[in-house]
Amino acid sequence: MDDKKLQNLQDEAKNLRRDILLMLSESGSGHPGGSLSAIDVIAYLFLAEMRYDPANPGWEDRDRFILSKGHAAPALYAVLAYRGYFSRKLLKTLRKLGSPLQGHPDSRKLPGVESSTGSLGQGISVAGGIALAGKIDKKDYRVFSLVGDGEIEEGQVWEAAMACAHFKLDKLCLFVDNNGLQIDGLVSDVMSVYPIAEKFKAFGWNTLEIDGHDFNQIESAVETFKASAGSGKPTAVVCKSVKGKCISFMENKASWHGIAPNKEETEKALEELGCVETLEDWLRED
Amino acid sequence: MGKSEMVATRDVYGKTLVEMGRENKNIVVLDADLSGSTKTAAFGKAYPDRFFNMGIAEANMMGFAAGLALSGKTVFASSFAMFATLRPFEQIRNSIAAQNCNVKIVATHSGISVGEDGMSHQSIEDIAIMRALPNMNVFVPADGPSTAFIIREATRINGPVYIRLSRPATPVIYNPDTYEFQRGKANIIKDSPRADVALLAIGTLLHEAIHAAELLEADGYSVIVADFASIKPIDKEALVKIAKASRLIVTIEEHSIIGGLGGAVAEVLSEEYPSHMMRIGIMDVFGESGTPAALFKHFGLTADDIYRKVQKAIR
């Protein structure tokens, strides 16, 4: 991609990271590590690839994104707000009583959320069903989904992997956020899922392995997926990523899976991102 | 009361699906390698582009069902009751019920009348767990004609429905020309302003209950018989009315006495009109192998068993 596009994406991703941190700080709970590892892929899809209309979330021909690792909800919320599905002000209500920004995404409460997720392993099956419906109706929409690397320990993921290949769902593209960590530690220690790409390949998928924070690589993976239309194979992109990416004290630490940064940590993180806006500024905003 | 005609509710399901599929192109049917037994195979033969065998993978089947429903399809997902509910329960909860997805889970081979396959295949808890889910409707037809009606009715509900069917052929109770089912309404088969006992039954045991009522009436007792095919929502109004008119309320089901019809009736009456109750069903034990007839006898679910238990309680 050209330098301008790259710079724009990097700037936007930085702002989305800022919003993730701010909303988690305000909520006092949530999942920063996996939100920060997944945000670059999510940002690329929503900012550079997918066809959708925030003013008409139910548009039949829209591309769909299913966040199977639902605990990365802040990453999804940040990008949905940025693209105008709802006011950025709502980010302040994350995880609070009555908020449409539930702890895990709820399709019944928030526009832009295609399916409720959070119980691991289920989003990929739902994504498969949506892709199958598109195939029955001869629609052109694509279905993107993102699973965690720990998540693929769930047996349902492999039931779905089998079915997506069996039904030749080549308009389905799955990203595996391979940050190498799950709640209890290293994925390789808790329950190894490796080799990931080879497993999907054996299940009949096109597979790619990329750096999940490199927009050029994300773009070329998406282009490869698009070129595979008609191949009869779904595509799995294994994204090597860093849990807590861009925040020095969060990077590669399983302990940042499910706790929110406090005020000082948030200020420090915002400073590392080079944000002008402070937590106070944000809280004062209307 | 047609003693002669016997029909398996699953056969009626298969035929009804094919009929509905002709009119309604939006219907998609999923099965998990039991389509010959659940009778969805007939739909697959008629409309191969709208039938998907998901293999022996029920959790994924429910997720696909949710995705299809989120894309506007009316989805039927079938397997044996054990594998259509207990195995993928959490997927049904989080992917289907919580999103109010338009998925009809039609399970066959429920209860002990699966027969010889034994305990592992005998679902006696499915009504209890499906009933506990918000948004879920739970219907248990008692015979062939009511199954045809209820399957069609399920497509008029925009949301999840669980329908519990059976393996063996069972006696036809209703006249298809006059039978009507309404969600949340009981069907009073025998009424009485002052009854010694009310027999409330579902599914395969409604016929036994009707026969037991005849035996009780022969002894001079007055009996109410009601079909609670709509277990959720349940007809509270009818329940209270029946309770007010009866000395004893008896629930009769091919399901655990915990959480099924007995549980649902007890929940309502204990709050609305505390009544003397007796629950007839599987008494908190697992099933075992045997012919359906031998098992009904073994677990005390035949008309004679019902008659004896009730007679002892009210004499």
Taking only the tens place, the pLDDT of each residue in A9-67 is 999 999 999 999 999 999 999 999 999 999 999 999 999 999 999 999 999 999 999 99
Tell me the pLDDT tens digit for each residue of A186-223: 999 999 999 999 999 999 999 999 999 999 999 999 99
Hey, is the C-beta of A165 within 8 angstroms of any chain B C-beta? no
B125 among known catalytic residues: no
Encode pLDDT of A110-137 as tens digits.
Answer: 999 999 999 999 999 999 999 999 999 9
Q: Examine residue B134 and say whether the peptide bond preceding it is cis (omega within 30 degrees of 0).
A: no
> Are B202 and B142 within 8 A, CB to CB?
yes
Name the active-site residue from B5, B19, B23, B58.
B58
**Nearest-angstrom CA–CA distance, A47 and A49:** 6
Count Cβ neighbours within 10 Å for each residue of B249-266 and write b for 16 or more, e otherwise.
Answer: bbbbbbbbbebbbbbbbb
State pLDDT tens for residues B114-157.
999 999 999 999 999 999 999 999 999 999 999 999 999 999 99
Handedness of CA B187, B1, B204, B177 (dihedral sign): negative
| Residue A244 contacts B, CB cutoff 8 Å | no
Please state, for a pLDDT cut of 70, what percent of chain A lies above it. Answer: 100
Measured in angstroms, the CA of A135 and the nearest CA of chain B are apart by 10
Pairing of strands B169-171, B161-164: unpaired
For A95, how many CA atoms within 13 A lie in the half-sphere containing its CB?
A: 18
Once rounded to an integer, what is the mean pLDDT over residues B20-42?
98
Q: pLDDT tier at A278 (50, 70, 90 boundaries)? A: confident
Residues of chain A found within 8 Å of residue B72, distances taken between Cβ atoms: 60, 133
Q: What is the pLDDT of residue A283?
A: 77
Domains, in order of start, for chain A: 3-284 (3.40.50.970)
| The token pair that represents B14 in the structure block | 């298969």
Could you give the domains of chain B? 6-171 (3.40.50.970), 187-314 (3.40.50.920)
Please report, rounded to a whole number, the percentage of residues in chain B having pLDDT higher than 70: 99
Q: What is the pLDDT of residues A37-48, one digit of tens each?
A: 999 999 999 999
For the segment A61-96, what is each residue's pLDDT rounded down to a tens digit?
999 999 999 999 999 999 999 999 999 999 999 999
Whether the per-residue pLDDT at B1 is higher than 60: the answer is: no
Q: What are the chain A neighbours of B74 within 8 Å (beta carbons)? A: none
For B34-64, what is each residue's pLDDT tens digit? 999 999 999 999 999 999 999 999 999 999 9
- Name the minimum distance, in Å, from the CA of B194 to any CA of chain A: 48
| Contact (CB<8Å) B65/A133 | no
pLDDT number for residue B243: 98
Whether the per-residue pLDDT at B3 is higher than 60: the answer is: no
pLDDT band at A286 (very low <50, low <70, confident <90, very high): low
